[in-house]
Structure 1
Amino acid sequence: MPKLIGAALLALALAAASPTSATATASTSADTSTTAAFTTATQSDQVPGRYIVTLKDAATQADATATVHAAVTQASSMGARVRHVYRHALHGYAASMSASAAAAIAGDPLVQSVQPERRVRALAQTVPTGVDRVEADLSPTAAIDGKDTRVNVDVAVIDTGVDANHPDLNVYKAGAKNCWIPQLPVLDMHGHGTHVAGIVGALDNNAGVVGVAPGARIWPVQVLNPLGMGTDADVICGIDYVTQHADQIDVVNMSLGGGGSDDGQCGTVNNDAMHKAICASVAAGVTYVVAAANDHADAKNTTPAAYDEVITVSALADFDGKSGGLGKASCRTDRDDTFADFSNYGADIDLIAPGVCIRSTFRNGGYAVLSGTSMAAPHVAGGAALYKATHPGASPTAVKAALVAAGGTDWLWPSEDGDGTKEPLLRLRGF
């Protein structure tokens, strides 16, 4: 039974977005009369029942201090709950109160203005360590600069679904397909698919995180249930849907897997229907990127990782986005810049990419930190998208060859790697 790659690792900390800076715009009306400017809370970004009171300038700091104290005392006597007192950048306070109390306070001749408290959000965007490590931030096609330039490529995420309303993703809603329960719309109730989608293409919009191929159009193809489980029949449904739209979809990410092997004949010898389906889809021009799986075993016994027609990706433990092995471990105890201790290995591995403690988008508009070859594969899918953006006619074989040829060897080895081959590390500065 196919399952998402990394199901055993989802107990890792799910980190919500940590604001690094926030901005807000609000107008403060100048008023020289004895009645303060008073604005009612009617806009959606305003917090009901909470106000900011600004006092008029006093002649001296001592007078200002006394005025602030008196104003706070007055507000409290009217039932207001004062939350902040301002004494330096301006003079005044913030408080929870009724609209009638706010209107009454606005009538005080010492009050400059009473305005509703407004919601603000973080506008600073973080570049995840994985994006940094594979040098996507140096890619001229990715053009990561916070200006929301979008990579004109379509990527299908065959997974648990994708949060179609996540503000940091460019989800092609018309391209959504639910193979788990066809009667229902796609809805990611797990989070795995949304996390994968963000690694591929989170928007370069100066908020949240940024993906390897920012703004790539994401086609959500749901084949796994809310527990991250599914069947090969559902997966084949997803592959079939992608193949139907092979004239539009350029790249597919499959961070899932089950048992099986490659018969070398596209499933015609061992009757592997999923292998046959992928071969047909690749023949139609779609590039498939898949996760190696997390059993710390040879990937030859896991499908689709074992298939020769796909790009199979193992996981690198990287904590600082740099080579050298100097990063401090965060959510796991792996050694920095080495083969992840859970990752599969073997002759079927084509590339290695960051897959430990990766921050990306998550369900319900959030963000999370997850680990697994599930996280490594979408870095490569994003890289394939960058290549297709500048080589739209490239075949899956050509895409794979270009990514492998550009790969680097600047990671520490052998460490946890279970074979005698040092896989090329995804490197995208030239894409």
Structure 2
Amino acid sequence: MDNLKTLKRTQVIVTVILVLSIIGSPITLMPMQFSLGQNNTISNNSNTSNTTSVSTPPTETAVIPGKYIVKLKDPSALGGAALSISDPISAVTTDIEDQGFDASVNRSLLGLNTYVLDIAPSENGSFSGASLLDNSSVVSSVVENILEENPLVESAQADMLMTIPEPISNASDFKTSTQTIPRGIDRIDAEATNKSLQSANADIAILDTGVNNHKDLNLFKNISFVGISTQDNCGHGTHVAGTAAARNNSFGVVGAAPDARIWNVKVLEKTADGCSGSLSGILSGLNYVLENADTIDVVNLSLGGYCPAWRSECDSSVYESSINDLINAGVVVAVAAGNEANPADWYVPARFQNVITVSSISDTDGKCGGMGTPSSFGDLDDSFSSYSNYGPIVDIAAPGSDILSTWNDGTFKSISGTSMATPHVAGEAALYKANHPDASPSEVYNALLTSATKGNMQCDGNGHGYFTGDVDGVNEPLLYGKNVTTVSNPN
């Protein structure tokens, strides 16, 4: 399919390290991990512009020793003797074993033609007696070279660890006796569309920390790829789900696609170090979505990884090709740009070609014009969020600061980040799919851009007006929900 982002920019190709984490509030990661928005210094003076100071993340890769992700070539791409192999993954593990390693299949992601392998030095192999941990970088290099040279393998990489602490709440005191329209929904005028809409006939997969049962959510399916429990012990996933699809009732909040069916695909879990998971877990979630692509309309990925350009050994091709498989199957994929106030093309999946990458703006009064008070971070009303990543890789902006939504304990909380901006877009994409069920991902993308607020539009006194302070001058459009469902033939 055609690249969704050809209208935006020429892709800057960088080789990157894949270290994944949730993009919620600007937060500090645990030791040995990189920082999301760490040391952001944001002015609290409403007369000053946003300023940020970003620390340099550590260069160590959070590799999971002994686990490797292998994507096999499509049979149509094979030739000669390889074409006649009946069990390609067994042939791959045999090849590894012949070169001094023990190898077994840990997980099969058949929809993606991808496998997670457990590989360790064999007792009589070249690494006999060596500690895998002590020699993990050497072993990884050897194993990846073996895999990459195998004619059956399309791409391979070591599995990666991701760890974050709980999202930080900026406000938690919210009365639920009546329904409140969150400022983010108000800012994009989504409530004008949702006023008479009780239920959006659409399905949204939330790949996150889980989504808990909540009176304000239509939780349709639950599955976990990080243990048995599908419960959200971090709060992040439940919050994301509410912004995308909280019910339009007399209670709590309302989402961009009210009452849309939420597929809780848990890929991160709370641990002693925060909320953690693995790339293989995320790929397992994507594989599950692919298996249900005839039903699921949109995937929300409010997660990402810092990808320093000065490191050359990272290969995220398995990750990107897996996401492309979903998009080619008709699923829209919305992802967070990141919270480091850095170029978004340093991060994955934000830099991937066919996803919808979302930056954040700060709004405090639910309307354009910049007349509200500063945000909890000191950002001016209707300004580009000081923590948000930026650049021509970004497709669209949406409100992300002080966003009120559902929480994992049945209440409502306000947190910030491009994680919170992204489900506004996912919800609007789902709403468009509900009204145009045959629309392709590229058509949904173009509909969002067609209806969005552009940089030259004056404020109408409600939600149709632009924002200030975008640091790169690219002026990505701002999500606008009032007219998105009426866009026809968005090519």
TM-score between the two structures when normalised by the length of structure 1: 0.69
Structure 1 distance, partners of 2:256, 2:243, is 6
Superposed displacement of residue 232, structure 1 = 1.2
Tell me the residue number matched to 1:177: 223
The 1:271/1:157 distance shift into structure 2, 3 A limit, reads closer
Tell me the residue number matched to 1:364: 409
Superposed displacement of residue 376, structure 1 = 0.3
Tell me the residue number matched to 1:222: 266
Matches within 5 A, 1:47-126: 122=177, 124-126=178-180
Work out whether 1:426 is the aligned partner of 2:479: yes
Work out whether 1:238 is the aligned partner of 2:293: no
One-letter identity of the residue aligned with 2:257? A
SS in 2 for 1:335: coil
Tell me the residue number matched to 1:411: 466
Superposed displacement of residue 406, structure 1 = 1.1
Partners of 2:240 and 2:419 within 8 A in 1: yes
SS in 1 for 2:432: helix
One-letter identity of the residue aligned with 1:395? S
The 1:7/1:318 distance shift into structure 2, 3 A limit, reads closer
Tell me the residue number matched to 2:203: 154
One-letter identity of the residue aligned with 2:21? K
Superposed displacement of residue 274, structure 1 = 1.0
Q: 1:220-269 CA distances to partner (integer Å, 9 max, x unpaired)?
A: 0111122233221111111111001001100010000013499xxxxxx9
Percent identity, aligned pairs only, is: 43
Work out whether 1:390 is the aligned partner of 2:435: yes
Tell me the residue number matched to 2:246: 202
Superposed displacement of residue 277, structure 1 = 0.4
Tell me the residue number matched to 1:255: 302
Tell me the residue number matched to 2:175: 18
Residue among 335, 343, 346 paired with 1:301: 346
Structure 1 distance, partners of 2:278, 2:341, is 23
Structure 2 distance, partners of 1:412, 1:290, is 21
Partners of 2:361 and 2:467 within 8 A in 1: no
SS in 2 for 1:397: helix
Partners of 2:406 and 2:413 within 8 A in 1: yes
Partners of 1:3 and 1:224 within 8 A in 2: no
Work out whether 1:8 is the aligned partner of 2:53: no
SS in 1 for 2:282: helix
SS in 2 for 1:230: strand
Structure 2 distance, partners of 1:12, 1:187, is 19
* Structure 1: unaligned runs, 5 residues or longer: 20-121, 263-268
Structure number, greater radius of gyration: 1
SS in 2 for 1:276: helix
Residue among 174, 179, 185 paired with 1:131: 185
* Structure 2: unaligned runs, 5 residues or longer: 1-18, 28-166, 455-464, 486-491
Q: 1:7-65 CA distances to partner (integer Å, 9 max, x unpaired)?
A: 5343332414224xxxxxxxxxxxxxxxxxxxxxxxxxxxxxxxxxxxxxxxxxxxxxx
Structure 1 distance, partners of 2:316, 2:204, is 28
One-letter identity of the residue aligned with 1:250? D
Superposed displacement of residue 291, structure 1 = 0.4
Tell me the residue number matched to 2:396: 351
Partners of 2:363 and 2:375 within 8 A in 1: no
Tell me the residue number matched to 2:327: 282
Structure 1 distance, partners of 2:294, 2:229, is 23
Q: How many residues align?
A: 310
Q: 1:276-301 CA distances to partner (integer Å, 9 max, x unpaired)?
A: 10000110110000000001011111
Residue among 215, 218, 228 paired with 1:167: 215
Tell me the residue number matched to 1:188: 232
Structure 2 distance, partners of 1:230, 1:156, is 17
Partners of 1:261 and 1:303 within 8 A in 2: no
Superposed displacement of residue 331, structure 1 = 2.6
Structure 2 distance, partners of 1:305, 1:230, is 18
Q: 1:120-165 CA distances to partner (integer Å, 9 max, x unpaired)?
A: xx1x1000011111111112xx3x25xx7110100000000001x2
Structure 2 distance, partners of 1:384, 1:261, is 31
Superposed displacement of residue 332, structure 1 = 2.5
Superposed displacement of residue 304, structure 1 = 0.5
Partners of 2:336 and 2:357 within 8 A in 1: yes
Structure 2 distance, partners of 1:271, 1:18, is 44
Partners of 1:12 and 1:331 within 8 A in 2: no
Root-mean-square deviation (CA, aligned residues, Å) is 1.7
Superposed displacement of residue 420, structure 1 = 2.0
TM-score between the two structures when normalised by the length of structure 2: 0.61
One-letter identity of the residue aligned with 1:153? A
Superposed displacement of residue 411, structure 1 = 2.2
The 1:261/1:242 distance shift into structure 2, 3 A limit, reads farther
The 1:377/1:271 distance shift into structure 2, 3 A limit, reads closer
Partners of 2:364 and 2:373 within 8 A in 1: yes
Structure 1 distance, partners of 2:249, 2:306, is 40
Partners of 1:261 and 1:306 within 8 A in 2: no
Work out whether 1:310 is the aligned partner of 2:365: no
Partners of 2:26 and 2:416 within 8 A in 1: no
- Structure 1's consecutive aligned runs of 4 or more residues displaced over 6 angstroms after TM superposition are none
The 1:13/1:259 distance shift into structure 2, 3 A limit, reads closer
Partners of 2:169 and 2:413 within 8 A in 1: no
One-letter identity of the residue aligned with 2:188? V
Work out whether 1:273 is the aligned partner of 2:430: no
Structure 1 distance, partners of 2:406, 2:368, is 25
Q: 1:94-126 CA distances to partner (integer Å, 9 max, x unpaired)?
A: xxxxxxxxxxxxxxxxxxxxxxxxxxxx1x100
Structure 1 distance, partners of 2:198, 2:308, is 41
Superposed displacement of residue 270, structure 1 = 4.2
